[in-house]
Amino acid sequence: MTGAVAVKRGFMLASLDLDRRLADKAAYEHDLGHAQIEMLKVEQAYRVGGLRGIIVFEGWDAGGKGGAIQRLTARLDPRGIRVWEIAKPSSEEQGRHYLWRFWQRLPPPGHIAVFDRSWYGRVLVERVEGLTAEANWRRAYREINEFERMLVDDGVRLVKLFLHVSAEEQLKRLAERIADPIKHWKIAPDDIRNYALRAGYVAAMDEMFEKTSTGEAPWRVIAGDHKWFARVAAIRTAVDILGDGLELAPPPVDTDVATTAAKLLKKKELAVLSLKPAKHK
């Protein structure tokens, strides 16, 4: 069980059980460690197989996206994964189609890209704050579905995660960011303004789920009021989707490596190379 809810027809955020949690810290550390190792196996399989994966994180300000991404990537080889923090488009990007900047960030073979916010800004923040005309964000549902279908048809594995928190929990976390000097960098005036527009965002999010949770690229929603639960659920969901049908066991030693070692190394040196691989800790 991943803990994420697959979005089906008729889904609405108000129906999500936000009280889902892990038993205690020991359970969290155990489940987190196991999920991280499984994610490492996925990354290695993508590297060896030349595969491409994308993980999209959407959700509320202070909803836990950053913390989940931090734990998801903690044990990975940074050469095989790239995290893209998506903010306001640059002047160059504003002069192009809104999807252009995301094309520039698609993963090459053997890599996984993580988007901390994404192309869904067109139907969320741009819609709610009136940053684009209604005709533009309404057209974007079709454009996004076609964009994602192209990616999937081209062999990209796409994971779409939405972290949902209650209004009370969101306000609590915003207050913590204001009160704690270490967290000041995490909050901006936009976060407060977006909280004040929460009702409009809920309506936009529910319509986003209705129109863009497709067979090719379904949404998964995660209850985020309890951070430990949300982090583990996010990693497990990514592992399940990215690793579906793949051989995640470590690959055997390359035959050329074995042949070269047999030719050039002494028996004592070969004995060292034949030691059993260490277990991940």
pLDDT tens by residue, 153-197: 999 999 999 999 999 999 999 999 999 999 999 999 999 999 999
Domain containing residue 46: CATH number: 3.40.50.300
Is the pLDDT assigned to residue 200 strictly greater than 90?
yes
Q: Is residue 275 part of a domain?
A: no
Is the pLDDT assigned to residue 6 strictly greater than 90?
yes
Query: Pick from 221, 214, 209: which is nearest to 63 by CA?
Result: 221
Q: Is residue 64 part of a domain?
A: yes
Q: Is residue 276 part of a domain?
A: no
pTM for this predicted structure: 0.93
Token pair of 110 as six digits: 């053997």
Token pair of 276 as six digits: 């059993």
Q: Which domain holds residue 83?
A: 5-253
Residues 6 or more apart whose CB falls under 8 angstroms from that of 180 comprise none
* Backbone dihedral region for residue 76 (phi beyond 0: left; psi -120 to 50: alpha; all else: beta): beta
Q: How confident is the model at residue 279 (pLDDT cuts 50, 70, 90)?
A: low
Q: Is residue 185 part of a domain?
A: yes
Mean pLDDT throughout 18-35?
97
pLDDT digits (tens, 9 = 90+) for 89-112: 999 999 899 999 999 999 999 999
Q: Is residue 264 part of a domain?
A: no
Q: Is residue 259 part of a domain?
A: no
Q: Is residue 258 part of a domain?
A: no
DSSP H helices in 187-226: 189-196, 198-212
How many domains does the chain fold into?
Answer: 1
